[in-house]
Structure 1
Amino acid sequence: MSMDAPAYAQVSPTPEQPDRRRWGRWLLAGTVAWAVLLAVLTWISVRDDPPTVREQRDLAEVVPVVDRAVGALAAAASGPEAVVELGPTEFERGCRLTPFLDGATLTRQVTVYFSNGNGDEAGEAALRRIAERLPAEYRAGARRTDEGFLLRADAGDFVAVYGELPQPGRAVLSVETGCRPVPDGFAVTGPDPDRPAGALRVMLTQALTALGRPVPDEPEWRTVPCPDRGFAGTASVDTPGALPAPPAELLRPAAAPLVLVDTPERYAYRAGPLGVTVAVTGDRTRVSVSLDCHR
């Protein structure tokens, strides 16, 4: 008995499949083109459009906020047993706002010298006191963290306030803008013309003479309005060369009223409404005389 041959179904040739690799290349090219277009539109918007959110407010717009915060810190730190020294304005370009736009930061510092008779407790108490005296809207607080005992506050408009205790008897308070756009023609302004120059200049001349330092025609001036009235101010001179003796030996007769800090690197005392500070760093000596918001 014979067996029939097996039957096979006929398979028609399929139509040619799309070239998937070619489609993938077109998809990738389209995605890259869309990303480039978005980047260009973003750059044009940042360059030409006015700020629409707080983070975009430029440095010129937040300088008044910084000045008010420095004045608030000076007032909060002022007192008959402290010296409040205003630091220079630090302006630094180079931070990145977007991949296509550079910005700049602005920082101002206030250094507070106080008696360190009780060690770390004195510094912590000083920062707590400053935090309590700042305006309520700053939501200031001072507490111990993994980085040490720190003060934190918010001056508004994304301007931050920081405080730390780098050394016994000294607190450094900083007001920082973060990275901001820089408007055309922006410049850090100089001191207010109503600076309290007379008394500070006399005391600065006396301290420089006692230290054997030259007396310049014009020191470096820094001022800030106090919240209630008047100004706080600092006049400083930075000179080269080592001192002939430790600051305490040279200034002790003048410092009799109230010595706050007495180390080879830093010396601070208060005489009435004025405070004198001496900072020795390597072969340079910086002498400052300050008038705070406490009268």
Structure 2
Amino acid sequence: MAASVLWAVLLAGLTWWSVRHDPPTVKEQRPLSQAVPVADRAVGRLVAALGEDAWELTPPRFDKGCRVTPLADGASLTRGVDVPVAPGGERAVLDRVARRLPAGWGAGVATEVGRPRLRADAGEFVAVDGRVVTDGLVRFSVATGCRPADTGYADLSPGYAAGPELTAALRALGRPVPTDPTVVAAPCPTGEPARTVRVAAGTGPVSLAPLAPLGAVVLDRPDRYAFRTGRVVVLADATGDQLRLAASTGCAG
């Protein structure tokens, strides 16, 4: 009996010490508040790795109601970066980004179902994925997975004007300059924010040729055109019913 009591006391003591000192060992033990800053910084790392490519940040997706366990609800955050390329150049972008990501992420590109796919681990069980969405479009995503929802998600994007580069592109295409663009941001490795300012520019067929004089050409396709001026890359996307323009400011260096 004495041995049983001693064992129970020892077990209780070890449990108390472990709860207060050992880090969580599985994703389900790590709340969303731990994962959100990791995910935000991972997006900034992707932007820095893209360098001179055309890209735009996609709106964050914050989903509530997922199941951490059969008895506990949670929430997840997914952030992303879209990279339009010339068809056939998708693998080169994925390989280049994989080489430029931190060594500790273990980034690699493999062929899955006939298409290249990048996988990496940004830490804190935050997964980084890069895949070919369609010919000429690569999408990078950063996902926390379902976590205990101890926090909401406040995007890093304050209100921001269209900016001179986006304004010039809209005027060249004969489109009005909106006063309420959508802004998405992420922290660069050096601390300053990378950001995308996005606007919808109306319907109807449009030639993107008037954008040619505005900067150095990054991508030239009939339905997508991108040019760079300084750290800003402006992307015009006419693939859908609505013409979209986005001006993205990358990381310094």
Q: TM-score range by the shorter chain?
A: 0.7 to 0.9
1:71 corresponds, among 41, 44, 51, to 44
2:237 corresponds, among 267, 279, 284, to 279
Equivalent in the alignment of 1:31: none
Contact map agreement 2:54 2:218 (CA 8 A) in 1: no
Task: Give the CA RMSD over aligned residues.
Answer: 2.6
Q: 1:144 Cα shift?
A: 1.6
Verify: 1:268 aligned to 2:226, yes or no: yes
2:196 corresponds, among 234, 240, 256, to 234
Contact map agreement 1:62 1:157 (CA 8 A) in 2: yes
Equivalent in the alignment of 2:154: 189
Amino acid at match of 2:121: D
Equivalent in the alignment of 2:165: 203
Equivalent in the alignment of 1:97: 68
2:176 corresponds, among 192, 214, 217, to 214
Contact map agreement 1:104 1:180 (CA 8 A) in 2: yes
Structure 2 CA distance for partners of 1:165 and 1:182, relative to 1, 3 Å: same
2:118 corresponds, among 130, 151, 169, to 151
Q: 1:259 Cα shift?
A: 3.9
Structure 2 CA distance for partners of 1:123 and 1:242, relative to 1, 3 Å: same
Q: Structure 2: 5+ residue runs without aligned partners? A: 1-18
Paired residues for 1:48-87 under 5 Å:
52-56=24-28, 57-79=30-52, 82-87=53-58
Verify: 1:164 aligned to 2:164, yes or no: no
Structure 2 CA distance for partners of 1:282 and 1:72, relative to 1, 3 Å: closer
Which structure has the greater CA radius of gyration? Answer: 1
TM-score w.r.t. the length of structure 2 is 0.81
Contact map agreement 1:208 1:215 (CA 8 A) in 2: yes
Amino acid at match of 2:56: E
Q: 1:224 Cα shift?
A: 1.7
Q: 1:164 Cα shift?
A: 1.1
Contact map agreement 1:54 1:157 (CA 8 A) in 2: no
Aligned residues: 232
Paired residues for 1:134-145 under 5 Å:
134-145=101-112
SS at match of 2:84: strand
Structure 2 CA distance for partners of 1:205 and 1:292, relative to 1, 3 Å: same
**Hey, what's the Cα distance between the residues in 2 that align with 1:211 and 1:164?**
31
SS at match of 1:190: coil
**Hey, what's the Cα distance between the residues in 2 that align with 1:229 and 1:134?**
17
Q: 1:287 Cα shift?
A: 1.1
Equivalent in the alignment of 1:29: none
Q: 1:294 Cα shift?
A: 4.5
Amino acid at match of 2:209: E
**Hey, what's the Cα distance between the residues in 1 that align with 2:101 and 2:172?**
37
TM-score w.r.t. the length of structure 1 is 0.70
What's the % identity of the aligned pairs?
41
Amino acid at match of 1:283: D
**Hey, what's the Cα distance between the residues in 2 that align with 1:273 and 1:129?**
19
Q: 1:157 Cα shift?
A: 1.2
SS at match of 2:131: strand
Q: Structure 1: 5+ residue runs without aligned partners? A: 1-48
Amino acid at match of 2:120: A
Contact map agreement 2:57 2:81 (CA 8 A) in 1: yes
**Hey, what's the Cα distance between the residues in 2 that align with 1:52 and 1:228?**
28
Contact map agreement 2:38 2:126 (CA 8 A) in 1: yes
2:78 corresponds, among 82, 104, 107, to 107
